[in-house]
Amino acid sequence: MNDTVLQSSKEIIKSMDKCTKCGICNAYCPVSGVTNVFPGPKYTGPQTQRYRSIELLNEISPDLCNGCGICMSVCPNDVAITDIITIAKSNLNNKNKKIPLLQKMLNRPEKIGRLGNIFPIVSNFFLKNSLFRLILENFISLSSKAPLPTFSGNKLNKFIVKNVSKHNKNILYFTGCAVDNYDQNIGINTIKLMNFLGYNVDIISGLCCSLPMLSSGEWDSAIVRSKKLINLLDKRLNDTNNIIFTSTSCSLTIKKKYAAYLDFTDNKSLDISKSSYDICEYILENHYNDLINRLKPINKKIFYHGPCQLRSHGMGQPAVKLLRLIPNISLILSEADCCGIGGTFGYSKKNNNISNDISKTLLNQVVLENPDIVICDSETCRWHIEKLSNVKTLHPVDVLTKSLNL
């Protein structure tokens, strides 16, 4: 079980007192590295927070942070810089804050997914149409260059209905919006893999972890949805002790961010946090030996990019250790700190150029290495990398199931 300590928003804010203004966070910030518009995490985080604690400020700099968390990972004094900035975005703390229409739409991916999957062929046709994309850019500021995924229809639910397994162990799988509506093959492959490892997979689908709302400041709506999800997870944990996620964003939100932003530090939330695992983290801890000598060779050159959310977990790169078990695989690790998309950050017209500028380090390495496949644990990162590089991008689970011939 995870050794988890939850920090409340008060503890997050209090960490600003440990800031020595050394500037390391600014030096590593991918956003301030490509634009002068963003003053950097030091100023936007702990430095300005001292004034926020005294009076209500009318500011725009928090919304220019893409939430990557790099500043927190390099801070020598453990200042929760990204979390301080995110708390400053909250419309509960800033009563004057207005959430743009585009952001409100992006904050409800499960609703957009359900709507688009009614007629997925029609939806995908329009979203790939350059004229329609220009119309969206002009009317709701959705960048015409933003990486939009493909609606997948209903094949995941059809697979779940047909899938029958009778094992001694149960595990709960929170699919998340991306798998529910777009990357359904990841959900199918996760179920196959966990069945192979001896589990009956209990699915929770159709719900959003609310990270887009939390990251953009729409906290009044996020609280209601997050409480609903916590209560549902608590009830479903009666049949199993563990929850797995194929989205590093979803797992990070439930493990740490509900506490940091919404003060969900009660015993119920703590139990859920301790029971939550990234899929590769769980397999590495519990089934590493089960995979040794059972994985078949893959003669592919694979490029792995660990997303920002994975770094915030503080668990290293479990997918890399699992992928290295596959014979004949040629594995190259990304040297880039951030792919640039920042969740929903890069989807708006005003931020897309910043997002693409940040991605150049990663894309230059991809071009240099010329891999057959790019692997990444996070959905928006995968979509962004694939759109810019034109290289097929998959989740680690996809490669593991292929190697096992599942």
Q: pTM higher than 0.85 for the full model?
A: yes
| Percent of residues, the chain, with pLDDT higher than 70 | 99
Average pLDDT over residues 146-150: 94
Tokens of 301: 């050159």
Q: What is the pLDDT of residue 1?
A: 45
Residue pLDDT, tens place only, 38-78? 999 999 999 999 888 887 777 888 999 999 999 999 999 99
> What is the band of 186 on the pLDDT scale with cuts at 50, 70, 90?
very high
Check whether 138 has a pLDDT greater than 60: yes
**What average pLDDT does the structure give for the chain?**
93
Check whether 2 has a pLDDT greater than 80: no
Check whether 91 has a pLDDT greater than 60: yes
| Candidates 1.10.357, 3.30.420, 3.40.50, 1.10.3470; CATH matching 290-403 | 3.40.50
Q: What is the pLDDT of residue 5?
A: 67
Q: What is the pLDDT of residue 284?
A: 97
Q: What is the pLDDT of residue 185?
A: 96
Residue pLDDT, tens place only, 382-399? 999 999 999 999 999 999
> What is the band of 6 on the pLDDT scale with cuts at 50, 70, 90?
confident
Spans of all domains in the chain: 9-89, 290-403
| Percent of residues, the chain, with pLDDT higher than 90 | 87
Q: What is the pLDDT of residue 164?
A: 81
| Candidates 1.10.10.60, 1.10.1060.10, 3.40.50.300, 3.10.20.30; CATH matching 9-89 | 1.10.1060.10
Tokens of 39: 């003053």
Average pLDDT over residues 239-254: 93
Q: How far is CA 280 from CA 160, 201, 318, 347, in A?
A: 21, 16, 6, 28
For residue 404, how many C-alpha atoms fall within 13 Å in the half-sphere facing its CB? 22
Average pLDDT over residues 357-369: 96
